[in-house]
Chains A and B, each alone.
Chain A
């Protein structure tokens, strides 16, 4: 018997009991839609969280926290030797590194009456540019006294006021080309504070940060200027050693100038995202503690995988209930048609043909159910994504987080749930189909009557 004839045969048989077939398909469709909807919440949340996490982040960045076993004097800072090592690794595209002026310096930058206490940094421009650093205005510094400022620098460059209640006034004029004063300090041998003012010239303003809540008020100075500050304080990173504090011998040795640069923030970038894992592991083996967004995503994904499997498992129970219906329908179909089956066998229908006919019928129910279930799940999912934010707003007078996706149905979920539906359908049709093949010809025909 040809496959197409089997299908035709099945369709004819199903037409004989439309209502029963329809109800069974409906049950399967509901089961399938339930499974998809349930799991789609897991997929939706995962997608929202991952999108949130990766927004504006560079996925091929490996952030170096420090060494597992930092030496006694250089704390957790990276040195030029470490940078050299990172740059020597295969697949590494660039290594960005920042040096910050020590927090104890409390350097103040001013212009006219306006003041700001920014973070003073030195960056390695070739790597920054390679990794896509852009300026919103101006150009990169070329001489020792030229500086870059962060996008929000101007906004926080304010006039100090006596009255704390009064709103602060920000600097309004064009900043590019302006001369700023950087004021640094140290204590001399006698315990007196000594100030030094260094003139700076703004030549560029950096691009806005990806996350709008992050404010960039940094000022980026040249390496030469940074060394000049170190010369002045005679400490690494321009650290201010206070007279009234008794520093330990070791500590004082550590801050001694020795011509070595210490980096506060080092990031290693790979050529592409796939290489992150390998490079990150290689670095870790060498004793550098590091993390990457890719790492975090992997962790979150693992967590969600467990959640999704759980949801799919629960959803499958609905399908198993529906499968009882399929089993029932198929058993009844076999019983009803047992005399037809007997006649067919009597004239030469192969048992496997009979079995296939019934298996096709049950998988037909499964496929139809999966199809209807999937379509309804898509409609439902759309409705939930549109309707739920409204509901949350009216119920709690609070707006739901923007871009939060409650339900998301990726192709993989459709494939998984359709497969489960069809599998369950075929499985529940198995016994009835087997029963059909074992119909006794003589009994069915009641030939001896």
Chain B
């Protein structure tokens, strides 16, 4: 489902004359199968977010190749990446990234609009999603009128509304209390079971890491070890 081959990534800081090269990822290779929940852990600054940004197409690897759904996405143009994203990927961000001027309902509807869905289908699916995340009576609330947990649920609903086969999440529980966190983890596992959605979740929380079928550790830009949680098998 997802594969990274010989990925190296480095950032270049500063202007032409005084530029410094910051190597972040070195020789990263891994593969994720369909229906897996894979968690990624590592110290702050180890390159977790960078890895996810590469998989999202927000940045391009210095070298190496990335395959998603058997498609080489390494050299996709910006527009093609956009189309690929809307078709295949759902995103859950640490700070939710809801559009503040849109209601919960409108935020959830947005991916459907971008995809060009019809009015009726849009309404049906967005309302279904709202119900699924238990926010049916908060449809017309704006993000700043919702609690952190509710906002995160809206953002999950937005990620799921187009029924993507893969969901990428960067610290999805970072802004949640333990109760909301547990709720979200249960939800992820349910989606994985029921809809066979593949998850890649970055976290520094052991409890979150534990829901993965496998956990990848990144250390100094290298994929250090892989821990398989037999519990889930």
Chain A residues within CB distance 8 Å of chain B? 1-2, 5, 9, 12, 16, 340, 343-353, 441-442, 445-449
Cβ–Cβ < 8 Å partners of A441 in chain B: 58
Do residues A442 and B113 form an inter-chain contact, with CB atoms below 8 A? no
Do residues B97 and A449 form an inter-chain contact, with CB atoms below 8 A? no
Given A1-B116, A340-B99: A348 and B58 interface contact (C-beta under 8 Å): no
Q: Does B83 contact A (CB under 8 A)?
A: yes
Do residues B85 and A347 form an inter-chain contact, with CB atoms below 8 A? yes
Given contacts A1-B115, A346-B91, A349-B82, 7 further A-B contacts (CB under 8 A): A5-B116, A349-B86, A353-B114, A442-B59, A447-B49, A447-B94, A449-B95
Interface string of B94-134 (1 = CB under 8 A from A): 11011111000000001101111000000000000000000
Do residues A340 and B101 form an inter-chain contact, with CB atoms below 8 A? yes
In the complex, how many residue pairs between chain A and chain B have their CB atoms under 8 Å apart?
75
CA distance A209 to B170 in the complex (A): 93
CA distance A447 to B59 in the complex (A): 13
Do residues A447 and B83 form an inter-chain contact, with CB atoms below 8 A? no
Do residues A348 and B95 form an inter-chain contact, with CB atoms below 8 A? no
**Which one, A12, A340, A349, A445, contacts B114 given CB within 8 A?**
A349
Q: Which 6 A-B pairs have the closest CB atoms?
A: A348-B86, A348-B85, A350-B82, A441-B58, A343-B97, A340-B99
- Nearest residue (CB) in B for A346 is B91
Chain A interface, DSSP helix/strand/loop, else mixed: helix
Do residues B79 and A347 form an inter-chain contact, with CB atoms below 8 A? no
- Chain A min CB distance to B40 (Å): 15
Given A349-B82, A448-B49: A5 and B99 interface contact (C-beta under 8 Å): no
Do residues B83 and A347 form an inter-chain contact, with CB atoms below 8 A? no
Interface string of B146-183 (1 = CB under 8 A from A): 00000000000011000000000010000000000000
CA distance A448 to B59 in the complex (A): 13
Given A346-B91, A447-B49: A442 and B58 interface contact (C-beta under 8 Å): yes
CA distance A80 to B85 in the complex (A): 89
- Chain B min CB distance to A347 (Å): 6
- Nearest residue (CB) in B for A341 is B99
Do residues A347 and B59 form an inter-chain contact, with CB atoms below 8 A? no
Do residues A346 and B56 form an inter-chain contact, with CB atoms below 8 A? yes
29 A-B pairs whose Cβ atoms sit less than 8 Å apart in the complex: A1-B114, A1-B116, A5-B113, A5-B116, A9-B113, A16-B101, A340-B101, A343-B99, A344-B99, A346-B56, A346-B58, A346-B85, A346-B91, A346-B97, A347-B85, A347-B86, A347-B91, A348-B83, A348-B114, A349-B82, A349-B86, A350-B114, A351-B78, A352-B79, A353-B114, A441-B58, A442-B53, A447-B97, A447-B170
- Chain A min CB distance to B92 (Å): 11
Chain B CB count within 10 A is highest, among A340, A343, A347, for A347
Do residues A351 and B59 form an inter-chain contact, with CB atoms below 8 A? no
Chain B residues within CB distance 8 Å of chain A? 49, 53, 56, 58-59, 78-79, 82-87, 89, 91, 93-95, 97-101, 110-111, 113-116, 158-159, 170
Do residues B82 and A351 form an inter-chain contact, with CB atoms below 8 A? yes
CA distance A350 to B115 in the complex (A): 10
Cβ–Cβ < 8 Å partners of B89 in chain A: 348
CA distance A353 to B78 in the complex (A): 12
- Nearest residue (CB) in B for A342 is B97
- Nearest residue (CB) in B for A343 is B97
CA distance A350 to B98 in the complex (A): 18
Chain A CB count within 10 A is highest, among B79, B83, B97, for B97
CA distance A340 to B115 in the complex (A): 17
Cβ–Cβ < 8 Å partners of A340 in chain B: 99-101
Do residues A345 and B82 form an inter-chain contact, with CB atoms below 8 A? yes
CA distance A26 to B126 in the complex (A): 38
Cβ–Cβ < 8 Å partners of A445 in chain B: 93, 95, 97
CA distance A441 to B59 in the complex (A): 9
Do residues B110 and A347 form an inter-chain contact, with CB atoms below 8 A? yes
CA distance A340 to B107 in the complex (A): 11
Do residues B79 and A351 form an inter-chain contact, with CB atoms below 8 A? yes
CA distance A12 to B110 in the complex (A): 13
- Chain B min CB distance to A343 (Å): 5
- Chain B min CB distance to A354 (Å): 9
CA distance A347 to B56 in the complex (A): 9
Cβ–Cβ < 8 Å partners of B79 in chain A: 350-352
- Chain A min CB distance to B172 (Å): 13
Given A442-B53, A442-B59: A347 and B158 interface contact (C-beta under 8 Å): yes
Do residues B114 and A344 form an inter-chain contact, with CB atoms below 8 A? yes
CA distance A398 to B88 in the complex (A): 80
CA distance A349 to B86 in the complex (A): 7
- Nearest residue (CB) in B for A6 is B113
Cβ–Cβ < 8 Å partners of B115 in chain A: 1, 348
- Chain A min CB distance to B140 (Å): 14
- Chain B min CB distance to A110 (Å): 94
Do residues A1 and B113 form an inter-chain contact, with CB atoms below 8 A? yes
Cβ–Cβ < 8 Å partners of A343 in chain B: 97-99
CA distance A447 to B53 in the complex (A): 10
**Which one, A2, A16, A346, A449, contacts B116 given CB within 8 A?**
A2
**Which one, A346, A350, A442, contacts B83 given CB within 8 A?**
A350
CA distance A223 to B89 in the complex (A): 101
CA distance A332 to B24 in the complex (A): 36
CA distance A2 to B113 in the complex (A): 7
CA distance A346 to B155 in the complex (A): 13
CA distance A446 to B49 in the complex (A): 12
Cβ–Cβ < 8 Å partners of A352 in chain B: 79
Chain A CB count within 10 A is highest, among B59, B94, B114, B170, for B114
Do residues A347 and B111 form an inter-chain contact, with CB atoms below 8 A? yes
